[in-house]
Structure 1
Amino acid sequence: MPARVHAILVVRPDGRTPAAHHLRRTLAALAEQSQPLDALTIVTCGEDSGVTEVARSSTAESVIAAPAGTSYAAATAMATLRLTGDAVWLLAQDTAPEPEALARLVGALELAPSVAFVAPKLVRWADRTEIVSLGVSMTGFGRSVGLADDELDQGQHDAQEDVLGSDVRGILVRADAWRTLSGIDRGLSGADEGLDLGVRARLAGSRVLLAPTALIAVSGDGVAGLPAPLTPARRRRRGFASRRAQLHRWLSYAPAFAVPLHWLSILPIAVWRTLLQIVRKQPGLVGPEWGAAAVGLVSLGAVARTRRGIRSSRSAPWSLISPLRVSAREMRERLDDDADATAAPRRGELKFFIGGGAWLVLGAAVVSVAAFPALTAWSVLGGGALQPLSTSLGQLWSNALYGLRTVGLESIGPADPFSSLLAVIGSLSPAEPSRALVVLWLLALPLAALGGWFAATRVTDRPLLRIAGGVVWALAPTLLVALTAGRPAAVMLHLLLPWLFYAGSVARRSWVAAGAASLLLVAVLACAPSLAPALALIWVGMVVLVLSMRAGRGLSHLIWLIIPSALLAAPLVWYQVRAGNVWGLLADPGAVWAGPQVAADAAGRALLAAGFPTADLAGWVGFVPGLPTWWVPLLAAPVALLALVAPLTQRWASGIALLVIAALGIATAFGAVGFAVVFTQSQAVAIWPGTGLSLAWLGALGGALAALDAGLAPRMAAVRSLATVVVLLAVVVLSVPALTATARHADVLTNGPVSTLPAYVAAEGKDDPEVGTIVLTPQNEGGVSARVVWGGSETLDGQATMLTTRITASAQDEQVAMLAADLVTSAAEDVVAELAENGLSFVLLAPSGEPETDNARAFRLAAATALDQRSGLDAVGETAKGELWRVTQEVQARPAEPKAAHDLGRGLALAQLVAVGIALLLAVPTAASRRQARRTSRVVGPYWQEGR
């Protein structure tokens, strides 16, 4: 006599049509079974008029109403009270069995009396040729493993019978086994329920069989089993449920003596798994991981109930489970056997070597050595805005933290993010950090060529155009002017921008690109805070496009893009906002230098629009005496004209985007040239417009390459080559004066100085950063500038925009001003004692700016006389840096950094380090991320169908 089957059907309305629709299909499928049901109980978890109507119009013997939050395990427990018959069939609203499914399940159950339950083959709701689940096992560490999940059904698993467990949906369980095992464990949170039931059945001396010919279509609503990972919310829910179930089983199956150890290891393992999730490019699972860990820590009652249930029903040893587990070798084989690994790649070879990229970089290196031959023998680079770096790595990284600054009397505040970038660069040469800047200067041209070549790979696949991209970017006027004028932040920005474009343009595709782009964005904004508004607009545009055209896919990648930058800039932003100086956030980092640049007038802005940040036209003015230079801006015209043509080609979307980037760069340069937020030696200094022009050059170059790549028919390849050669020749001619500036002694670069202070002070301050010097500089307009320097030199990494942009004098500023006034006034008393009390050991009377005016000369002579007559000061003598005096009294130590500031600095550093660490982990490629990358085009936006 066939077994009498009582089906339990659980429904959870979600307020949407699919719940009722799926329920109708499931009920229709039940009505078509070749072996009819003996009884059906429906449990509705939550209220929904449509679902209730469908349920009550069915042939169910009863409909049980339960609260909306009722779990599948709890719902089946409610229906168990009404259970009749020999077997219970576990169903949900989205489980539609084939007509023969129940008959085949019953047949398999009757053939083997030792079987506790039989599991069907679950297939896709809309495509029954794809397997959703057919048997579940677990590893030695308790991780559940689907034995045939997401495979194409070709009958390859139909001979398999014995398994450890299965998906809970659609299983047919003997009624006596169901009662003995107390049904589904409620501590599993909706995951691994069939696996746990199979483990407990095995321990009770029973078996679990598969019935592969019994097909049930499932939609993945999440009522029973895990929801289909169609949305980020569902993926997070799956992650939480899976990890929660794994922890519950881990504690429930462990020997009694090991349970406390397992419980104590939950949090450390959560930390480790967090790192793994980030490396695997699944940061969305970090939150579920910690949520599951938190629930696992407080769910000891559920664990105790499960362990009691296992003890009461167990009649077989745990060793019976081992043969059915998945071994480590089998797991490796499963991971290696990736169905996507053999998918046809859409990405061609990079062709860096055979495509000319390597020769381009090598050629740029040769040009760099020829243009700056003296740098090969220098250890410290000076001139312009260049200064030496700190002599030790400890001081380098200390200057990157919140706390006491190396300039100012007792200045406490945030470091510029640029200091962190300098610390990274200086760490590449730990014995001589300053030499790292010299090497960077020598490698600037080849690095720029390399970056330009890679950025061009996002626009074109043509080798000639990629080479053109590298050449044009390396010979851009903004880079050459920055190199010859000694502007380190501008040089670094130009080297970083193409890599930001390379990674940021595909940040929405993958976490690897998003992680790399987030780090590059940190570095770019550290070098050029004035680009923040333009980059923010670009980011907003990317978010809008993702939301409107990609249905939000990749939005989380774009959100992460700005998080590290926000965290690193937060201390400085908070400081400047509290000081009422928001505009100070746009200041150029590093040493303030009022070097040559265009004027903030119509003529100056015309030069900016042509791509020139200085009025000398990248060195052409005066290059050939008497030669007119009106034609020089025309050399940039080919790039500009091609960029304007790009929106008219098949690549119009990319062309418009690149043109917008160029326009934002020009707008930034226009605004910067007339905007001064820093000062030096009584002189306000405008923001360097070259950073905006670098962004504009990037957009224009990208647009030009897009136009050349797609704007000409294939039969016009010769025209493309000719246009490319014209662009290259124009840029090469434009670069000649800058590349020959060092040979003509037309640049500002110098060999050193090792210190900005006299050698006597540098020697004492080399190993003692607490040596203080007050530097007095007579001003040509009258008066004196005073500043305090700690250690053996002012350093590039020790500069701080919080000091150079301040708009009101602080108490320390007023104290320094009083000290300076008293020092140069013979009537003042006890000023030397005050110097000693504040930790100042030296007084330096520096020369004024050239040419020295009569007012400055008179002030310098009077100040020197007053200092010579001051008791307690010992004249060291005339030096290359000015006249030096030493304090002969006992000098007190510099006031220590307050503990609160010290703790705040370390806390901020830890938070920033965590953000950078996460970004680094995300940026590390994995085998899966490389396979995914191969399935997408390297070129972004080819003919508007990119990403299809």
Structure 2
Amino acid sequence: MPARVHAIAVVRAGERASIQLLQTLDAVRAQSTRPDAVTVVVLGDGSHVRAAAGLGDIVEGVIEARSTTTYAEAVALADPRVPDGASVWLLAQDTEPRSDALQLLTGALERSPSAAIAAPKLVREDDDREIQSLGVSMTRFGRSVELAAGELDQGQHDSVEDALGADVRGMLIRGAAPKVLRPDVGLGGADEGLDLGVRARLGGARVVLVPSARVGVRPDGPAALPRRRVSRAWMTRRAQLHRRLTYAPAAAVPLHWLSLLPLALWRSITHLIGKRPGEVAPEWGAALAAMVGFGPVVRSRAGIRKFRRASWASIAPLRVSHDQLRQRLDDGHGSEHGAVSELRFFGGGAWAVLAALVVSIAVFVPMLAWPAIGGGQLLPLRETLTALWADAAWGQRDLGLDVLGPADPFTAVLAVLGSLWPGSPSYALVLLWLTALPLAVLGGWFAATRVTDRSGLRILGGVLWALAPTFLTALVEGRPAAVILHLLLPWVFHSAAVAHRSWGAAGAASLLIAAALACAPSLGPAFLLLWVLALVLVLISGRLRAAARVFWLLIPAAALFAPLIIWQLRHGDPWALLADPATVRILDQVTADPAGRGVVASGFPSADRAGWEWFAGGEVAVWIPLLLAPVALLALASALSPRWRAGFALLLTSMTGIVTALLSVGVVVSFVQGAGTALWPGSALSLAWLGAVGAALVTLDTVVALAPLRIGAALVAAVGVAVCALPGLLAVNTGNAEVRNASTSTLPALVVAQAATEPDRATLVLTPDSDGALGVRVIWGASETLGAQTTMLSTATTPRGTDVAHEAVDLLSARDFEAAEALAARGISFVLLVQTPDENDRARNMHDDAVIAIDERSGFVKAGETAHGVLWSVGVPIADRTEPGHTSQTIGRIVGVVQLIVVFAALLLAIPTRASRRAARSRPRVVGRAADEPIVLPRRAEARPGVTPVDAHADAQVGEKDANAQAGEKAARADEKVSEADEKDAEADAKDAEARAEDADAEGTR
């Protein structure tokens, strides 16, 4: 036995810590082999400790230190009071050794002359059956790994004696060991025990585990890692980088130092993929701290160099391999409850999507031969992906002269859509229309999986979503933003409903919300209201990590809209932020009077009630809203269902959409041809329809218990909506749709030909209006495109950029000036005079006078009549387009980089990993299920007389889930623990990628 044992107990200042210290000291006095003395180090004001009764003669002294002092620094302060040759027992306020712990530790050192350190088994202070820590090792690249932690103690590890390191709490360091075997102050409070074990191995000694020696520990002591995840991540990563720089060969240290920031960037990406965004900031903080922490590294390397007797090869057998790490972290969680989250998509959903595709081809069959789609708000897209994505960035707009500023976020959505068909991006719009119905069924079906387990009701949800009046109206009228929004909303619901559960769902939902708001900025207030309510509810429940996920939902949208918000606020027009994107056209608008708002309140965004005005006449159309009544009644009944919380949430969503639609019809922020156009209410009605359909499914799933009644109610609702959708489905084939066959350019072929070699040339487009006004537009390139549209121009009440209206008017007047030179100086090489089919005599006379006036001007060469109008080319040298200034280019780059970072982070969070998929499978897919809600048990058709196989299939969808209902409910109550445990597996997967970035470390850890 060592001649003396000197204990060092570290305690935080405070009355509670003093009480814990007294408990620790009582446990020390109760030891069968007592230490000779105890030195207490108080972190902060030591008055409570000094005044505490019961310190006794065993405490030889009390040392006060700063409250920010780490455990290693505290031990260093007490070390001079340790007599020469005395063994050091490391304790803290959170340690309570059992009565024979010190005797067993000292005995282990006596039996093992090669051991320099003996480490006990750490157990819960109030329960010896749960192991807190027993042995610590590390991977090839320095990541610390607990060999046994959080396990039920059944003696499964009692035969283990050799380990690379252990938790520093309760360690007994042999008195004959040199002073270098003390906790390293450069570690910053983590991995002290592991580092001591590595140093002991390099000195030719070892760490011996003594499982029979038990020390109870609490999670709040000065030697324990912080409970907060961010602080824990900072400390462990800081310690790992310090050890890396300390252990590496001298020649590799500069390489490691240079790799700290690139490695932090790479690990930030892996953290986001692994759904650990909270560890990104600690990663960068630890890297920066390691870069400037030269002194601790130098001292640690010097200590190891003096003490080292063995090679790094002696450590290799005790390290944890990658396969061992994966096996250790892979506890199989989630696989036992896989039935809880089975989709059963091919049990009916796939057939519904296929049927919708057949219907779509039938109702849109003329589109199969269209090279591009036009009409309504539709325009071609840019011809190349480079130009397509350039439209989504800050810079010059391809409409107007010198119009410089942010792009509408909707252009980014168009860029993504066009990239799906890179050979001809405009054809992607044709494919969107052809696949709109099956995509809507698919989205509606997946959204329904958050509401019901019944396959029949899921199919009903998909059908009702695809046949929504607002969706068919958008398809018929050619509203691309509204069509894309309707396809996105069910996916927004599908991911946002479980965003509080995981970062993967939150990341996907945030991107989908950003895209949805880009298509319909008028939904911003509605989304903001729902977001605030969700955030408040999560905060009230006390789930801070869930609140952080919910808070993230609007961050990507805010990043995309921020430049436009700042621009519009600077120009004094905040209402313009609500403007609908894409082309502004005067279509069949609902008026803002009571009659018009009545049409909107009944669920129709247009005055013709989804085409029933032309299909059956006004007298019949008035009664068409009754066809939607079954859905509305079922939705209202959800408030009385067993799942009333979900019902109220969906009804609130529906009411928010209806109120937004009613307000939208009275908001005029966009202008075309001198006339104002109100916001389209159909976007808000899509949101309302989402809530109504979801609430109706809740009622059918929980209130209507009898299968015949449930099937009958579902059929009534489906038939009513299908009949209501009939005119919209027939509109294209009967010629009553705004959408039409179009070319890939809105300008004459001569302009297109020149744009192929000189893209930076503009066309001045003049349009005589029926009220005697002259519409003036400047279009750059080969065509006016959908991506070139900007709300900066459509909402402008004053000229944006350089105003060419005066030159255009003078061109048609008798004023004598060099018109061709004036236009050429602006980069304008063509003049196009458009003649619209519905011109009145006044507009027709203006058109004829304009042709005569331009023909008489010198410098203009008439190209003749075209399908787009009368075209002239400017016959003088054309000046190059003015490039943006350096400041504007710098602003554009900064804006683009910031937006890309935020979107890229959300995308990395949204990428599914094996851990996130397993965590999702461990939770019920249906959200908001009541605890006492009855679940239908699966039964075979042949076991139930009189029941058909179809009925049996309709009842069996939720049967699989009942077998695991209790486990699923338990997982639901342990949401945070489930996700936190499973995310460890993603971290293990990310180490493969990190290994490639840290090859230089291999030599240092050998």
Give 1:724-743 correspondences, 5 Å limit: 724-743=714-733
Q: Name the counterpart of 2:169.
A: 169
The CA deviation string for residues 107-166 of structure 1, in whole angstroms up to 9 with x for no partner, is: 212222221110001122344322221111112212211111222211111111111111
Deviates further, 124-133 or 543-552: 124-133
Give the TM-score taking structure 2 as reference length: 0.91
Question: Structure 1: which 5+ residue stretches go unaligned?
Answer: none
Q: Name the counterpart of 2:799.
A: 809
Equivalent residue in structure 1 for 2:862, among 844, 864, 875: 875
Q: Name the counterpart of 2:41.
A: 43
Q: Name the counterpart of 1:319.
A: 313
SS at match of 1:459: coil
Aligned pair in 2 of structure 1 residues 710, 127: CA closer, same or farther (>3 Å)?
Answer: farther
Deviates further, 538-547 or 625-634: 625-634
The CA deviation string for residues 405-459 of structure 1, in whole angstroms up to 9 with x for no partner, is: 1000111111111111111111111111100000011110000000000000111
Q: Which amino acid aligns with 2:180?
A: L
CA contact (8 A) 2:335 2:918 kept: no
Distance in 1 (alpha carbons) for counterparts of 2:863 and 2:213: 98
Q: Name the counterpart of 2:753.
A: 763
Corresponding position: 1:639 with 2:636: no
SS at match of 1:628: helix
Distance in 2 (alpha carbons) for counterparts of 1:583 and 1:944: 45
Q: Name the counterpart of 2:345.
A: 352
Aligned pair in 2 of structure 1 residues 99, 416: CA closer, same or farther (>3 Å)?
Answer: same
CA contact (8 A) 1:647 1:655 kept: yes
Give 1:604-623 correspondences, 5 Å limit: 604-623=596-615
Q: Name the counterpart of 2:950.
A: none
Q: Which amino acid aligns with 1:927?
A: R
Q: Which amino acid aligns with 1:463?
A: S
Q: Name the counterpart of 1:497.
A: 489
Distance in 1 (alpha carbons) for counterparts of 2:857 and 2:310: 97
Q: Name the counterpart of 1:297.
A: 291
Distance in 2 (alpha carbons) for counterparts of 1:74 and 1:406: 64
The CA deviation string for residues 789-845 of structure 1, in whole angstroms up to 9 with x for no partner, is: 1111100011111111112224612xx111111111122311211001111111111
SS at match of 1:886: strand
Corresponding position: 1:888 with 2:886: no
Shift of 1:346: 7.0
Distance in 2 (alpha carbons) for counterparts of 1:192 and 1:937: 38
Equivalent residue in structure 2 for 1:858, among 816, 836, 845: 845
Distance in 1 (alpha carbons) for counterparts of 2:70 and 2:758: 67
Q: Name the counterpart of 1:25.
A: 23
Question: Structure 2: which 5+ residue stretches go unaligned?
Answer: 933-968, 974-1006
Deviates further, 117-126 or 793-802: 117-126
Deviates further, 630-639 or 544-553: 544-553
Distance in 1 (alpha carbons) for counterparts of 2:137 and 2:716: 66
Give 1:748-759 correspondences, 5 Å limit: 748-759=738-749
Q: Which amino acid aligns with 2:294?
A: L
Q: Name the counterpart of 1:823.
A: 811
Deviates further, 621-630 or 263-272: 621-630
Deviates further, 463-472 or 324-333: 324-333
Shift of 1:637: 0.9
CA contact (8 A) 1:682 1:779 kept: no
Q: Which amino acid aligns with 1:348?
A: S
The CA deviation string for residues 200-236 of structure 1, in whole angstroms up to 9 with x for no partner, is: 1122222210000111121122511423x4xxxx211
Q: Which amino acid aligns with 2:755?
A: G
Distance in 1 (alpha carbons) for counterparts of 2:708 and 2:26: 67
Aligned pair in 2 of structure 1 residues 54, 347: CA closer, same or farther (>3 Å)?
Answer: farther
Aligned pair in 2 of structure 1 residues 70, 429: CA closer, same or farther (>3 Å)?
Answer: same
Equivalent residue in structure 2 for 1:940, among 922, 927, 935: 927
Shift of 1:23: 2.8
Distance in 2 (alpha carbons) for counterparts of 1:470 and 1:219: 53
Distance in 1 (alpha carbons) for counterparts of 2:720 and 2:126: 60
Equivalent residue in structure 2 for 1:245, among 213, 236, 239: 239
Distance in 1 (alpha carbons) for counterparts of 2:871 and 2:319: 80
Aligned length: 933
Equivalent residue in structure 1 for 2:736, among 735, 746, 755: 746
SS at match of 1:878: strand
Deviates further, 367-376 or 556-565: 556-565
Shift of 1:757: 1.6
SS at match of 2:122: strand
CA contact (8 A) 1:651 1:944 kept: no
Distance in 2 (alpha carbons) for counterparts of 1:774 and 1:645: 58
SS at match of 1:198: helix
Q: Name the counterpart of 1:832.
A: 820
Shift of 1:299: 1.0
Deviates further, 124-133 or 604-613: 124-133
Distance in 2 (alpha carbons) for counterparts of 1:763 and 1:65: 84
Shift of 1:627: 5.8
Aligned pair in 2 of structure 1 residues 297, 862: CA closer, same or farther (>3 Å)?
Answer: same
Give 1:134-283 correspondences, 5 Å limit: 134-177=134-177, 179-181=178-180, 183-227=182-226, 229=227, 234-283=228-277
Distance in 2 (alpha carbons) for counterparts of 1:599 and 1:944: 47
Q: Name the counterpart of 1:402.
A: 394
CA contact (8 A) 1:346 1:936 kept: no
Shift of 1:26: 2.3
Deviates further, 918-927 or 750-759: 750-759
Q: Which amino acid aligns with 2:67?
A: A
Q: Name the counterpart of 2:88.
A: 88
Distance in 2 (alpha carbons) for counterparts of 1:651 and 1:407: 52
CA contact (8 A) 1:11 1:45 kept: yes
Distance in 1 (alpha carbons) for counterparts of 2:929 and 2:401: 57
Q: Name the counterpart of 2:835.
A: 847
Give the TM-score taking structure 1 as reference length: 0.96
Give 1:638-717 correspondences, 5 Å limit: 638-713=630-705, 716-717=706-707
Shift of 1:917: 1.2
Shift of 1:300: 1.4
SS at match of 1:742: helix
CA contact (8 A) 2:819 2:857 kept: no
Q: Which amino acid aligns with 2:715?
A: V
Deviates further, 85-94 or 434-443: 85-94
Shift of 1:779: 1.4
SS at match of 2:584: coil
Shift of 1:767: 4.6
Aligned pair in 2 of structure 1 residues 621, 810: CA closer, same or farther (>3 Å)?
Answer: closer
Aligned pair in 2 of structure 1 residues 80, 378: CA closer, same or farther (>3 Å)?
Answer: same
Q: Which amino acid aligns with 2:131?
A: I
Shift of 1:598: 1.5
The CA deviation string for residues 57-85 of structure 1, in whole angstroms up to 9 with x for no partner, is: 45422221111111111111121122147
The CA deviation string for residues 478-497 of structure 1, in whole angstroms up to 9 with x for no partner, is: 11000010000000000000
SS at match of 1:120: strand
Shift of 1:944: 6.4
Equivalent residue in structure 1 for 2:360, among 368, 372, 390: 368
Give 1:476-515 correspondences, 5 Å limit: 476-515=468-507
Distance in 2 (alpha carbons) for counterparts of 1:31 and 1:363: 80
Distance in 2 (alpha carbons) for counterparts of 1:446 and 1:811: 43
Q: Name the counterpart of 1:527.
A: 519
Q: Name the counterpart of 1:132.
A: 132
Corresponding position: 1:114 with 2:102: no
Distance in 1 (alpha carbons) for counterparts of 2:488 and 2:335: 35
CA RMSD of aligned residues (A): 1.7
CA contact (8 A) 2:335 2:922 kept: no
Corresponding position: 1:904 with 2:891: yes
Equivalent residue in structure 1 for 2:778, among 777, 783, 788: 788
Aligned pair in 2 of structure 1 residues 877, 2: CA closer, same or farther (>3 Å)?
Answer: closer
Distance in 1 (alpha carbons) for counterparts of 2:830 and 2:71: 79
Q: Name the counterpart of 2:953.
A: none
